[in-house]
Amino acid sequence: MTSVGQIHSVETCGTVDGPGIRFVIFTEGCPLRCLYCHNPDCRNFTSGKQTTVDDLITEIQKYKSYISSSGGVTVSGGEPLMQPEFVKEIFRRCHELHLHTALDTSGYADLQVAKSVLEYVDLVLLDIKSFDPLTYVKVTSVSIEPTLALATYLSEINKPTWIRFVLVPQLTDAPHNIEGLAKFVSNLKNVEKVEILPFHKMGEYKWEKLGFDYQLKDTPIPTPEAIQQAVDIFSSYGLKVQ
């Protein structure tokens, strides 16, 4: 029987969530409460729409000629690992179609549960929201430990991984925070690159619409100099940065 899951939406020709042109599935439900989240409407597991893996695969096949050469399928969210059976089945079916698979995750999940999904994942986009534990809690409302455990496991199994870090002035930009992350990541043997994502406010209107308190109203976007400083810190640890 086909697996059923809860999704927010799909993007048929995504270009920012993994290599090449990608079919991106945004799942519903996230245990984190990131202050800068641009998808706050993905928080609740009960919103969005129910769909089956069969339906998604039928849709994906329509785009196979665009995505099969250098792109593939990415499952993002929300937090995809909240629906492990559903997501695993999507990836398994994509592999049957010889499509590259990428998982975009915060890493906040039970490691044993994540392991079974990772069997069918070619690339992990691991969002590490901060390194300083207190800053991590302030940004996300949850602990950093599961994310670090997943990062370490990914290195042990040598799973290709891109690390993503959102640079937020006055929140995640403290040099010791970035430096701690750079040092940790430089000790992993599977990381192909680090993506620094400058904070933006494109999701602010969604917070207002949902009646949530957007605490970063007065936070500026990072200056080019601040972005360069973060690039320099990661680079100084021998990491490829984008």
Using CB under 6 A, list all residues that contact ligand SF4: 30, 32-34, 37, 39, 42, 77-79, 106
Evaluate whether 93 touches 120 at the Cβ level (below 8 Å): no
CA–CA separation, 190 and 125 (whole Å): 12
CB of 198 to ligand SF4, least distance (A): 14
CB of 218 to ligand SF4, least distance (A): 19
CB of 161 to ligand SF4, least distance (A): 17
- Axis crossing angle, helix 111-118 with helix 84-96, rounded to the nearest 10: 20
Which residues fall within 8 angstroms of residue 63, CB to CB, at 6 or more apart? Answer: 12, 13, 23
Q: What is the DSSP string of 162-204?
A: EEEEEE-TTTT--HHHHHHHHHHHHT-SSEEEEEEEE---TTH
Q: Tell me the backbone φ, ψ of residue 72, rounded to 5 degrees.
A: 160, -150
CB of 167 to ligand SF4, least distance (A): 14
Between 72 and 77, CB nearer to ligand SF4: 77
CB of 177 to ligand SF4, least distance (A): 17
CB of 78 to ligand SF4, least distance (A): 5
The secondary structure element, H or E, covering residue 39 is: none
Q: At 54, list the tokens.
A: 């069969």
Radius of gyration of the chain (CA): 17
Evaluate whether 20 touches 66 at the Cβ level (below 8 Å): no
